[in-house]
Chain A
Amino acid sequence: MAFAYSDRDLETFREVQQLAYRCAEQVAAWIEPGVTERQATARLRRSLVGAGVTDFFHVPFAWFGDRTAFRHFHTPLQFFAGGRVLQEGMPFVLDCAPVVDGYTADIGYGGKVGENQVWDRLAQDLKVYRDLILREVKARKPLNEIYAAVDAQIAAHGYDNRHQVYPGRVIGHQVTRNTSRAPAGVNLFGFGLRTLQTLGRELITERLHGRSPLWADGRSSRHAPTPGLWAVEPHIGFRDTGIKFEELLVVTEDDAYWLDDDLPHVRRWTTTTEAVAG
């Protein structure tokens, strides 16, 4: 499969991703003890719509406390924001996937309120996974092997892989320009109607090629990374603290790179490294 996006397309994808992270940062700055997950997602949604978002790939999510590590998740309903109240020292994760003019972003933003040593360590270690995934994708290793390498690294770190709790145990999924004509802004099971339509079509086309638009550890991921855009979301947890990043990875026929390096988690690593070096 050939790489289908022009530089202009990529630029627009980047702008939408920036917009998503900007809104997540705004909500993260506003968030404080006493806020519930539902309040946080409502705020996130308002902020995104205010910035020009017309549709959602999936509804925004917010997880607080041990829910960031997906502890005690048994049904898919538990992924939806609930009444959990944020307390001092708690970690949180905001996840949203806005669509603007068919261009989709899907991001994950991890944060904490107050002091949380475990979170600091996890946030620092997250860099290893971002580097590892890019290295392996560049080497065009089969997706299931990259998945296994990420899991092995998580085990070496002494953490748990929380992406295995996601439906289908996915660590990532393909993102395309949404061309569906279904009504915008309509959600079904947490996913936009347009998303479902596009996703369904892709699942069928990719399956015909022996590939999958979903990136997991199973048989259907036993192929080299498909050219296109991948939303990648390694999610690690330790005890009651979880953290993830999610951002777009560009895979061309012969190369790979992260769509944007100017993101909150990447900036955090740079400042920490500078602080250590200084």
Chain B
Amino acid sequence: MNQSDEPRRRFVHSGGVDLAVFEQGDPTAPTLLLVHGYPDTHRVWDEVAAELAADHHVVRYDVRGAGQSGVPDSREGYRLAQLAADLFAVADAVSPDRPVHVVAHDWGSLQSWEAVTEPGAERRIASYTTMSGPCLDHMGHWIRHRLRRPTPRHLKQLLVQGAHSWYITAFHLPVLAPAAWRLGLARAWPRVLRDLEHVEPRPGHPQASLKKDAVRGIELYRANMRPTLRHPRERPTEVPVQLITLRRDRYVNAFLSEGLERWVPDLTRRQLNATHWSALLQRAPAVAGMVREFTARVEAGAPAAPTGPLVVVTGAGSGIGRATALAFAERERATVVVCDLDLAAAERTADLVGLLGGTGHAYRVDVSDGPAVTAFAQTVAAAHGVPDVLVNNAGIGHSGTFLQTTEKEWQRVLDVNLWGVIHGCKAFGSLMAERGQGGHIVNLASAAAYLPSKALAAYATSKAAVLMLSECLGAELAGAGIGVSAICPGIVNTNITRSSTFSGLTEQQQAAQQAKFSKLYARRNFPPEKVAEEILAAVRSGKPLVPVTVEAKAARLVGRAWPGLLRRLARLGVG
């Protein structure tokens, strides 16, 4: 940081204490107010502020009790109402005529929520970007809702979040918590951050005053947690909110924001592959980018961008691919980019996506053609952005024993079913990893992946390879916050049977076989929509392997418990 970028310091008086306020950048530009969390000071924002100061008036302050700001006399002084008043006082001082854009992290986020949900806050706050800190009132309602409807999922959420919030309980223990900070935790803090948060210490962080800040800041928890959670108020807001969910946050879980739309009509959801602190200290450009984009949108008065994820589905002209595209549109208002060899069919899917409330775009792509898939990925990235979800669905059916299957047939099946997935994972996976906001890749394998059959030599081989590819890729991309799921549907009523090929048969016999299998699959009548549901669930839960139909689940079970039986069945040529 050179001298000219050095923040200008001044003090703002609020509620009996002087708050140390630091300003950077052009004061005539839109004002960004950055609010830090516990046990930090304004210095935690150094990198983010430097990025944003280029085109914004960036203002930070040490919250009461921290850094260079004054210390309140009693616990009362740490109440949320007072913290919100501080925020408004600073905003009034640095930008008296224009509403400010608030960006907050951790406890800063909790206290900013208090300000943002004040009636009439939209007159002073133009937008709010929040990370790792829910509104305590919203959270109180969140807990109540789950206690009232204790479904297994809700109970699990309560337990998981409870376990992650152990320190909040610890902070309520008298003597112990301050003593822990005084007697060594403050000294060990850099190591804790390095080992758990993957954050390297640097000048200003952890700050020299950490021990004092941490001990005083305990009052934030003690003054606010219990009263607010016990008697949550109704706190809606008109302010546009951008919620950045940190995928590897140890303290705040993503599901805490479920149903936030109830309180925030103008909500934009973003994700970042980062830990609680690495978001600010290691991923500053990414955070600054999101803030800049959101602020610009609000300043321009543009309507909220579609909040759903960006999803790419291959082979989406029919069957499971189409059903998946539609499910994402219907459930998540996704922008869905669909591709298929049959452009008209893909366009039709895109149309239906639009009908269901999503946005659809169609392309003609042959997934077995590597350069074409790479070009497709580049086009998608340029026109729509890097996808959050990729569904490698395109595939073909083929039946024949090993000796019957010609080399050409092997080639074709592997080209589409295996290389198609490889090309897709490579082209989009690298974009997703590069962007660093996490994501999910879904590969359509098959129950044939683990169910040997002498009649499906090439097909089963290609699908088994897809399954293993997904497992390996999952291990590789876990660090990048990208989940990988392999879906094994089983017998599903789609037109894969109508286009399947059979080794060693004349055209007429082929047609007869296709008709026979189509009928069999139609009689089983398992709709592709149900597979689509499982795919959405896999993306949500990150489940790595999903057998869908009963037969797929049974085969998986038998294959693990009694593989000899499957081998015997394989000889019969079932499949």
Seen from chain A, the residues whose Cβ lies within 8 Å of a Cβ on chain B are 117-118, 121, 155-158, 238-239
- Chain A residues contacting B495 (CB-CB under 8 Å) are 155
B356 to A158, Cβ gap below 8 A? no
A118 to B348, Cβ gap below 8 A? no
A118 to B355, Cβ gap below 8 A? yes
Closest to A160 in B: B527
Interface members, chain B 330-372 (any A CB < 8 Å): 330, 345, 348-349, 351-352, 355-356
Closest to B349 in A: A158
A157 to B348, Cβ gap below 8 A? yes
**CA gap between A91 and B142 in the complex, in Å:** 36
* A118, A158, A238 interface centre (most CB from chain B within 10 Å): A158
A-B contact pairs, 20 of them (CB 8 A): A117-B355, A118-B355, A118-B356, A121-B351, A121-B355, A155-B318, A155-B495, A156-B318, A156-B345, A156-B348, A157-B348, A158-B322, A158-B326, A158-B348, A158-B349, A158-B352, A238-B352, A238-B355, A239-B330, A239-B356
For residue B572, give the distance in angstroms from its CB to the closest CB of chain A: 30
- Chain A residues contacting B322 (CB-CB under 8 Å) are 158
Closest to B498 in A: A152
- Chain A residues contacting B355 (CB-CB under 8 Å) are 117-118, 121, 238
- Chain A residues contacting B330 (CB-CB under 8 Å) are 239
- Chain B residues contacting A117 (CB-CB under 8 Å) are 355
For residue B85, give the distance in angstroms from its CB to the closest CB of chain A: 45
**CA gap between A156 and B347 in the complex, in Å:** 11
For residue B512, give the distance in angstroms from its CB to the closest CB of chain A: 15
| In the complex, number of A-B residue pairs with CB atoms less than 8 Å apart | 20
- Chain A residues contacting B326 (CB-CB under 8 Å) are 158
For residue B523, give the distance in angstroms from its CB to the closest CB of chain A: 13
Closest to B342 in A: A156
Complex interface bits, B309-322 against A, C-beta within 8 A gives 1, otherwise 0: 00000000010001
**CA gap between A157 and B356 in the complex, in Å:** 14
- Chain B residues contacting A239 (CB-CB under 8 Å) are 330, 356
Seen from chain B, the residues whose Cβ lies within 8 Å of a Cβ on chain A are 318, 322, 326, 330, 345, 348-349, 351-352, 355-356, 495
- Chain A residues contacting B345 (CB-CB under 8 Å) are 156
Closest to A151 in B: B522
Known: A118-B356, A155-B318. 13 other contacts (CB 8 A): A117-B355, A118-B355, A121-B351, A121-B355, A155-B495, A156-B318, A156-B345, A158-B322, A158-B326, A158-B348, A158-B352, A238-B355, A239-B330
**CA gap between A158 and B352 in the complex, in Å:** 8
Closest to B353 in A: A158
Q: Chain B's interface: helix, strand, loop or mixed, by majority?
A: helix
- Chain A residues contacting B352 (CB-CB under 8 Å) are 158, 238
- List the 3 closest A-B pairs by CB distance, nearest first: A158-B352, A118-B355, A121-B355
- Chain A residues contacting B356 (CB-CB under 8 Å) are 118, 239
For residue B344, give the distance in angstroms from its CB to the closest CB of chain A: 9
**CA gap between A239 and B323 in the complex, in Å:** 11
Closest to A117 in B: B355
**CA gap between A239 and B352 in the complex, in Å:** 11
- Chain B residues contacting A121 (CB-CB under 8 Å) are 351, 355
For residue B536, give the distance in angstroms from its CB to the closest CB of chain A: 16
* A117, A155, A238 interface centre (most CB from chain B within 10 Å): A155
Closest to B322 in A: A158
For residue A40, give the distance in angstroms from its CB to the closest CB of chain B: 26
- Chain A residues contacting B318 (CB-CB under 8 Å) are 155-156
- Chain B residues contacting A156 (CB-CB under 8 Å) are 318, 345, 348
**CA gap between A239 and B330 in the complex, in Å:** 10
- Chain A residues contacting B349 (CB-CB under 8 Å) are 158
**CA gap between A118 and B329 in the complex, in Å:** 14
For residue B563, give the distance in angstroms from its CB to the closest CB of chain A: 38
- Chain B residues contacting A158 (CB-CB under 8 Å) are 322, 326, 348-349, 352
For residue B59, give the distance in angstroms from its CB to the closest CB of chain A: 46
* A117, A118, A156, A157 interface centre (most CB from chain B within 10 Å): A156
Closest to A241 in B: B355
**CA gap between A157 and B349 in the complex, in Å:** 8
For residue B555, give the distance in angstroms from its CB to the closest CB of chain A: 27
Closest to B325 in A: A158
- Chain B residues contacting A118 (CB-CB under 8 Å) are 355-356
**CA gap between A118 and B348 in the complex, in Å:** 14
- Chain B residues contacting A157 (CB-CB under 8 Å) are 348
**CA gap between A59 and B430 in the complex, in Å:** 63
For residue A89, give the distance in angstroms from its CB to the closest CB of chain B: 14
For residue B498, give the distance in angstroms from its CB to the closest CB of chain A: 9
**CA gap between A163 and B425 in the complex, in Å:** 41
- Chain A residues contacting B351 (CB-CB under 8 Å) are 121
For residue A186, give the distance in angstroms from its CB to the closest CB of chain B: 38
Closest to B495 in A: A155
For residue B407, give the distance in angstroms from its CB to the closest CB of chain A: 33
**CA gap between A239 and B532 in the complex, in Å:** 14
For residue B518, give the distance in angstroms from its CB to the closest CB of chain A: 10
- Chain B residues contacting A155 (CB-CB under 8 Å) are 318, 495
Closest to B345 in A: A156
**CA gap between A156 and B348 in the complex, in Å:** 8
**CA gap between A118 and B356 in the complex, in Å:** 8
Closest to B317 in A: A156
Closest to A159 in B: B352
For residue A220, give the distance in angstroms from its CB to the closest CB of chain B: 17
**CA gap between A170 and B198 in the complex, in Å:** 66
**CA gap between A238 and B322 in the complex, in Å:** 13
**CA gap between A118 and B357 in the complex, in Å:** 10
**CA gap between A238 and B351 in the complex, in Å:** 13
**CA gap between A157 and B355 in the complex, in Å:** 13
**CA gap between A118 and B330 in the complex, in Å:** 12
For residue A84, give the distance in angstroms from its CB to the closest CB of chain B: 23
- Chain A residues contacting B348 (CB-CB under 8 Å) are 156-158
Closest to B494 in A: A155
For residue B251, give the distance in angstroms from its CB to the closest CB of chain A: 40
Closest to B348 in A: A158
Closest to A122 in B: B355
**CA gap between A117 and B366 in the complex, in Å:** 32
**CA gap between A239 and B495 in the complex, in Å:** 20
Closest to B351 in A: A121
For residue A44, give the distance in angstroms from its CB to the closest CB of chain B: 30
Closest to A158 in B: B352
**CA gap between A158 and B362 in the complex, in Å:** 15
For residue A214, give the distance in angstroms from its CB to the closest CB of chain B: 20
**CA gap between A239 and B353 in the complex, in Å:** 12
**CA gap between A198 and B3 in the complex, in Å:** 100
**CA gap between A167 and B268 in the complex, in Å:** 49
**CA gap between A147 and B305 in the complex, in Å:** 44
For residue B316, give the distance in angstroms from its CB to the closest CB of chain A: 10
**CA gap between A156 and B345 in the complex, in Å:** 7
**CA gap between A100 and B356 in the complex, in Å:** 43
**CA gap between A214 and B158 in the complex, in Å:** 58
**CA gap between A158 and B353 in the complex, in Å:** 11
**CA gap between A158 and B322 in the complex, in Å:** 8
Closest to B493 in A: A155
For residue B558, give the distance in angstroms from its CB to the closest CB of chain A: 33
**CA gap between A158 and B494 in the complex, in Å:** 12
For residue B524, give the distance in angstroms from its CB to the closest CB of chain A: 15
**CA gap between A263 and B495 in the complex, in Å:** 35
**CA gap between A155 and B352 in the complex, in Å:** 13
For residue A162, give the distance in angstroms from its CB to the closest CB of chain B: 14
Closest to B326 in A: A158
For residue A109, give the distance in angstroms from its CB to the closest CB of chain B: 22
**CA gap between A206 and B330 in the complex, in Å:** 47
For residue B220, give the distance in angstroms from its CB to the closest CB of chain A: 48
**CA gap between A118 and B355 in the complex, in Å:** 6
